[in-house]
């Protein structure tokens, strides 16, 4: 448990944030929360259950390659 915690210290980890939409940007991603906050990141890791991630990508109008979409089914 200490190794993941040590690795995460250098990261900007946000928990318990309800995401309204994700926007692909030239430098990575922009995450917009239901509460109106916006976070920019060069890398985005989504850890919600797969159906929620897929729905968020659809709402955000982010295209997923067909072969990737098939794997998510």
Q: How far apart are CA 9 and CA 56, in angstroms?
A: 27
pLDDT at 32: 96
Alpha carbons 67 and 73: distance in angstroms, whole number: 10
pLDDT score, position 33: 95
Assess whether pLDDT exceeds 90 at residue 23: yes
Q: What is the pLDDT of residue 15?
A: 84
User: Percent of the chain beyond pLDDT 70?
Assistant: 100
* pLDDT value of residue 36: 95
Q: pLDDT of 30-53, one tens digit each?
A: 999 999 999 999 988 888 888 888
Euclidean distance between CA atoms 68 and 64, whole angstroms = 6
The arithmetic mean of pLDDT across residues 7-29, rounded, is 89
């Amino acid at each position: 448990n200490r190794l993941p915690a040590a690795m995460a210290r250098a990261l900007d980890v946000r928990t318990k944030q309800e995401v309204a939409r994700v926007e692909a940007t030239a430098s990575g991603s922009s995450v917009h929360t239901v509460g109106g906050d916006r976070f920019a990141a060069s890398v985005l890791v989504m850890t919600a259950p797969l159906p929620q991630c897929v729905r968020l990508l659809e709402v955000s109008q982010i295209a997923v390659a067909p072969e990737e979409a098939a794997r998510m089914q």
